[in-house]
Amino acid sequence: MTPVALDTTDAIEIKLLLEAINQRYGYDFHGYSMASLKRRLAQAQAHFQCASLSLLQHRVLRQPAILPQLLSFLTVQVSDLFRDPLYFRALRERVVPHLQTYPSLKVWVAGCATGEELYSLAILFREEGLEKRTLFYGTDISPEALEKAKAGVYSLDRMALFTENHHRSGGKIPLSDYYTAAYGAAVFNKSLRAQAVFSDHSLVSDSVFAEVHLVSCRNVLIYFNNALQDRAVGLFKDSLVRKGFLGLGSKETLRFSGHAGAFKEFVPSERIYQRKSEL
Amino acid sequence: MTRFEQKPTPALYAAIAASAVTVFVADLLTPVGLALWIFYLVPVALALFLWRPGIPLVLGALITVLMLMGFLFSPQRGNWHMAVFNRAFGLLTLWGVAAIAHLFIRNKLIVRKEHWVQSGQTRLSEVLRGDQPMDQLGENVLRFLAGYLDAHAGAFFFADADGFRRFASYAVPAHSDVPERIRPGEGLVGQAVKDGRAFVLRDVPEGYFSIGSALGQYRPRHLLVTPVTADRMVNGVLELALVHPVYGSDIDLLDHVAESIGIAIRSATDRTRLQELFDETQRQAQELQTQSEELRISNEELAEQSRVLKESQTRLELQQAQLQQTNQQLSEQARRLEEQNEDLTRAKAELEHKTRELEQTSRYKSDFLANMSHELRTPLNSSLILAKLLAENRPGNLTPEQIQYAQTIESAGNDLLTLITDILDLSKIEAGRMEVKAQAVPLARLLENLGRTFQPLAADKALQFRTQIAPGTPETLETDPQKLEQVLKNILSNAIKFTEQGEVVLEVSRAAGERVEFSVRDTGIGVPAHQHDVIFEPFRQADGTTNRKYGGTGLGLSISRELVQLLGGSIELVSEEGHGSTFTISVPRVYDSGRDSREPTVPMPVLPEARPPARGQPQASPLPAQAAASAPLRDDRLCLTGGRRVALVIEDDASFARILYDLAHELGFQCLVAATAEEGLVLAWQHSPSAVLLDVGLPDNSGLAVLDQLKRDARTRHIPVHVISASEHSQAALAMGAVGCMLKPVQRAQLVEAFKRLETRLTQRVRRVLVVEDDPVQLDSLRRLLGSREVETLGAQSAAECLETLKAATVDCMVLDLNLPDASGFSLLETLSHENGDPFPPVIIYTGRDLSGDEEQRLRRYSKSIIIKGAKSPERLLDEVTLFLHQVVAELPPVQQRLLEKSRSRDAVLEGRQILVVEDDVRNVFALTSVLEPRGATVAIARNGREALAALERSAQPPARPVDLVLMDIMMPEMDGFTAMREIRRRPEWRKLPMIALTAKAMSSDQQECLAAGANDYLAKPLDIEKLLSLIRVWMPQ
């Protein structure tokens, strides 16, 4: 479908709203792709029952309490455990042998949303015997999502899919060993997040915080425009150790990025890249 | 009257009347008692066929009267009582029949009405049937109802989005002001809608509404307004204008049909809506189709593009493969070239060596000849004198034959003497011992002298001898007359000697460039072309046989050439065999004593022509007394470019420095020149040259001291230094790390050699890797893995062996297994780090054991790279080692840089201070430690908030040093920086402890949060060292 041309009023309203959020709270959405922003703002507008985005802007400015909710609308938080099982299989079979040569490891899940990705990696690392020496960083801009990620509670009806994904990713132990189900929900074992740090971090404005060996940032860049994508990939590049790994979503690629030269394709089909060593 | 009563048949009425009258008459005529009244039932029965329910009752009453009259007026007979009873019974029967008739007719009417309504409904439903658009539906309904109810006009309103719109009208005149739309509650119609019930308006007032035909107008009498509903929702309203009064049946009918009309309207509406939706769907489907088509096209385009991309990628890959191939070939060729180069260099060196030997020999020869001729001349002299004495025969006791002998001895002796003199001259010249004594030489007198000498000789051989001076020739020369004369004499005597007939001409003329040419032309045997060069060589003549015929030593021309060159001139020969020869001697008009045109056979380290010192920098020389010696040469320091290597020359002798400067340029180096030790060190630190040429005898300090300092400084220790000294220092210099040593005086070739050696050192350094591994098999395999043409591997199987190896050899990189038989890797590293001043090479830990966080932390102090053995570890090891070996040597591992920094950049504010760094990122810990420790601070490390609190607790105990300042990261495991800072501030004794938060976040709110949590200040990552230091200085308690 060709995107519907933005009505100028809409465009102005979106711009003003984003500017308001940026100035008031410091969340910068200017680099996000317009088409998806428009869809998500329409949802938010309906949710907050505002007749127009200008009214929504008014509310956001006056009622800081609704910001977290609005943020969870603006950031896409749909993920599954072991989403794209082949990606995780590739990590398991191709990347882990390299990671095993480091005495301690750091993994950064950029844009971790509600934590599915991070738990998947934690489970995978436990199964591969790396968990004890690994520290996971899960970062997102939405405090609400981070709270959910910290809780690690998912609805029980998603477990069937999770279990199948886990199995297809090469999981060795039944997924049920990692969670306790009750009252229609499943809570993942606390031990999985013992090695995890959840933190508020924006790929738009913040900088590198640690040297890491693996960055998993899946289906985040698609919501960014090119300049912002470049910035984010630059952060990953600066964070990664020489020969460190970067995993992207199935529709994302570094091919057109300004930093493409700093990486080589490691598992091209699963969008796993390796940072080149500076020789 | 209702519309269900049929027109009464007059005959029926007549029959009723007739039968009643007949019965009455008959009753009057017959006496009472006869039950004639029974026939009164006939009219009543007849009334059953009538349509009015009242008639039987009226008839009953009438007949009652008639019966009473008949009773009263009939002739009385029989039993009266009986008659009364009879008549009463008759009356009862009559009323019963009348009542039955009445009920019958009523029922008949009701049935008819029902039928009417039902047929109306049926017909209406027929009208409603089918898919009709709204307005047509309205028209049809209205038309039908108007006809069925006999209405004269009507209008039909349907509900739409807002209110009700007139969809159809019946017989409404065009000019009437019937509204197009109405709202609920508006007027009667609106009220009907609102209330959902019908209204009947009887006896419409005058002027209310008129219906017209072509011929006239009339007004309806009654109005009927009724809403239509669907599911009890009013969705239309109907107004009919009637001329006849409104019957209940009308309302009944409308009540009945309202629902079905409503439903029909609704379904029509729905249908319309459906149709619209359907149309919309169609339109969208079409649009979708278009878009999917577009999509398909763009998809195809994309596919095409990706195909093209793939193709070009394939092509690129191919090209890359080819390139790689070419590259390989090229590097192979380069390697070969290099080898050839090496061979060449070697051959050249050999050649130079030989040349040197030759030169040496030739010098020995010259010396020897000079000495020898002297030694020869002394005895020869005496024998000549004695021979002459003998030949004089003063005592007169010799026979003429004996006198002849003595004369022969004398003549032979003279010949020998000439020969010796010639040899002596030649060797003198070759030994550079011939001096030129220039003076004014009048040309005319010179020629006169020559003429006087050669005229008789020529005359002896019947040859003509002429001298002539070309016009414009200067009259005098400024040169050494003896030498010039010797040359001319030699050539002239040769000319006369080799000329049998004809003439010998000496001509003097002026030549270009302030020179004078002497040409000696003869008509003798000439010299074959291939011998032109040979005849100037010593001891050679044009023909080996010539000697015998003409005599002579064959040295004459050689000497002549040497002499002419000594005078700054040249000698040339133009000749053809059998056609005479012309020797042309060209000398400068004024002998220039300042230059020696001859190529010195042995280059001396002193330039004959010293260039004036560079101007403009007189203040650069610290001591005026030394100005001449140390005045800086013009060098490249102002125009250094990054691309070329830089050589630093530390040499106080300006002329020699100049030679080195030129030579450096010739060999592709940029060159810096320093005249003093101090300047040299400064330049070395400032410019980090690629190579240093160092003189030992410097005005301010010994070159060896400079060498020592260069080698002690981590910034310069990698620079190869070549020492040049006038006295023997080579052993000391080499021991101190010089690449090579030369003794003055130095030959050019040696210098070139030295530069070459420096260059080789720069480009082709063999790197050394020490592998420390206790398992011999593993050790061997690692050495195989890492060794290559450029990489030499050393092995050590124990800590002791490792220490020994490190002492004995310089190692670029060390691979260390932590498990060793005699000591653990940890203690080995600690031992290495404690050996002060002797920085050890970068270490790569290669271990099979899993390391705890603490162990890793400990190792990180010594090693940047830790590899756990595993499937991919050899790959990574190779990678890391390659990386270490390729990094610029100046980029020393931080441990060494730290050592270096320690010596020069201690900071008073930080000296002796204890700083707690709370940070979990190894990279940052490393950076912070290497910035802070060299400045005199002690750094304690905590990896998270919890550890930070524990570290603070510990430091508060008396033996430990209290922490002066905390650098706090925010994002950390277990306890983050915010919490940690709040916890710290909660303790009263730490209220004042300065804390600087290090945050990766850019938002001002985060920074506010840092301050709120108790930080005194914050610094954004990535850390700016200068800023960090100034912040620390600000907050460090005094």
pLDDT over 50 (residue B548)? no
- At B792, give phi and psi (nearest 5°): -100, 135
pLDDT over 60 (residue B615)? no
Query: What pLDDT is stored for residue B633 in this prediction?
Result: 57
Burial B56-82 (b: 16+ CB within 10 A, else e): bbebbebbbebbeebbeebeeeeeeee
Q: Find, among B748, B816, B760, the residue nearest to B790 by Cα.
A: B760
Query: What pLDDT is stored for residue B628 in this prediction?
Result: 37
CB contacts of A98 in chain B (<8 Å) are 872, 875-876
Model confidence band, residue B1002 (pLDDT cutoffs 50, 70, 90): low
Cβ <8 Å between A197 and B976: yes
Higher pLDDT, B433 or B689: B689
In angstroms, the separation between the Cα of residue B251 and the nearest Cα of chain A is 48
Those of residues 161-180 in A touching chain B at CB distance below 8 A are none
Q: What is the pLDDT of residues B36-73, one digit of tens each?
A: 778 888 888 888 888 888 888 888 888 888 888 877 87
CB contacts of B927 in chain A (<8 Å) are none
Decide if B858 touches A, using CB distance below 8 A.
Answer: no
How many C-beta atoms surround the C-beta of residue B383 within 10 A?
Answer: 16
How many C-beta atoms surround the C-beta of residue B968 within 10 A?
Answer: 28
Q: Which of A175-184, B842-851, B902-911 has the lowest mean pLDDT?
A: B902-911
Burial B880-891 (b: 16+ CB within 10 A, else e): bbbbbbebeeee
CB contacts of A67 in chain B (<8 Å) are none
| Average pLDDT of chain B, as a whole number | 78
Query: What pLDDT is stored for residue B790 in this prediction?
Result: 67
Cβ <8 Å between B876 and A277: no
Query: What pLDDT is stored for residue B545 in this prediction?
Result: 46
- Say how far apart CA B515 and CA B589 lie, in whole Å: 5
Q: Which residues pair with B581 in a beta bridge?
A: B575
Q: Which of B59-63, B134-138, B550-554, B665-669 has the lowest mean pLDDT?
A: B550-554
Q: What is the pLDDT of residues B317-374, one digit of tens each?
A: 778 777 877 887 888 888 889 899 899 999 999 999 998 888 888 777 767 766 666 6
Identify whether the C-beta of residue B692 lies closer than 8 Å to the C-beta of residue B720. yes
- 3-class SS of residue B1031: helix
pLDDT over 80 (residue B554)? no
Using a cut of 0.95, tell me whether the model's pTM lies above it: no
Q: Which two tokens stand for residue B573?
A: 């020969």
Cβ <8 Å between A97 and B879: no
Q: Give just the sign of the alpha carbon dihedral B889, B891, B897, B901.
A: positive
For chain A, helix (H) and strand (E) counts, in that order, are: 10, 10
Q: Find, among B208, B204, B269, the residue nearest to B236 by Cα.
A: B269
Among chain B residues, CA nearest to A201: B1001
CB contacts of B856 in chain A (<8 Å) are 103-104
Among chain B residues, CA nearest to A139: B971
Q: What is the pLDDT of residues B923-945, one digit of tens each?
A: 778 778 877 887 778 888 898 89
- 3-class SS of residue A260: helix
CB contacts of B871 in chain A (<8 Å) are 97, 100
- At A46, give phi and psi (nearest 5°): -65, -40
If you search the block for the tokens 């400068």, which residue do you land on?
B588
Residue pLDDT tens, chain A, 279 long: 334 445 678 888 888 888 888 888 877 787 777 777 787 788 888 888 888 888 888 888 888 888 888 887 777 666 788 888 999 999 999 999 999 889 889 999 998 888 899 999 999 999 988 888 899 999 988 888 889 899 988 888 888 888 999 999 888 788 888 998 888 888 998 898 888 999 888 888 888 888 899 999 988 887 777 788 888 999 999 899 888 999 988 777 787 778 888 899 999 888 899 998 765
Strands (E), B912-971: 914-918, 938-942, 965-969
Model confidence band, residue B728 (pLDDT cutoffs 50, 70, 90): low
State the best of A98, A100, A208, A241 to mutate against chain B, taking most chain B CBs within 10 Å: A100
Those of residues 196-255 in A touching chain B at CB distance below 8 A are 196-197, 199-202, 205-211, 238, 242-243
- Say how far apart CA B624 and CA B622 lie, in whole Å: 7
Query: What pLDDT is stored for residue B631 in this prediction?
Result: 44
Peptide bond into B1022 cis (omega under 30): yes
In angstroms, the separation between the Cα of residue B284 and the nearest Cα of chain A is 12
Cβ <8 Å between A135 and B976: no
Q: A34-47 vs A8-25: helix axis angle to the nearest 10? A: 80
Decide if A30 touches B, using CB distance below 8 A.
Answer: no
- 3-class SS of residue B92: helix
In angstroms, the separation between the Cα of residue B1021 and the nearest Cα of chain A is 7
In angstroms, the separation between the Cα of residue B876 and the nearest Cα of chain A is 8
Decide if A264 touches B, using CB distance below 8 A.
Answer: no
Q: Find, among A229, A180, A175, the residue nearest to A31 by Cα.
A: A229
Higher pLDDT, B622 or A269: A269
CB contacts of B855 in chain A (<8 Å) are 103
Q: Which of A53-67, A196-210, B602-616, B1003-1017 has the lowest mean pLDDT?
A: B602-616
Q: Which two tokens stand for residue A27?
A: 């969340």
Residue B713's contacts (CB-CB under 8 Å, 6 or more residues apart) are: B685, B900
How many C-beta atoms surround the C-beta of residue B278 within 10 A?
Answer: 11
Model confidence band, residue B903 (pLDDT cutoffs 50, 70, 90): very low
pLDDT over 90 (residue B532)? no
Query: What pLDDT is stored for residue B599 in this prediction?
Result: 38
Query: What pLDDT is stored for residue B898 in this prediction?
Result: 46
| Kind and range of the H or E run holding B868 | strand B865-868
Q: What is the pLDDT of residues B394-422, one digit of tens each?
A: 777 888 888 888 888 888 887 777 777 77
Query: What pLDDT is stored for residue B435 in this prediction?
Result: 73
Cβ <8 Å between A243 and B876: yes
CB contacts of A129 in chain B (<8 Å) are none
B581-588 β-sheet, strand order: B464-469, B503-511, B515-522, B581-588, B570-575
B646-650 β-sheet, strand order: B670-674, B646-650, B691-695, B721-725, B740-743
Query: What pLDDT is stored for residue B765 in this prediction?
Result: 60
CB contacts of B857 in chain A (<8 Å) are none
Those of residues 38-97 in A touching chain B at CB distance below 8 A are 97
pLDDT over 50 (residue B640)? yes
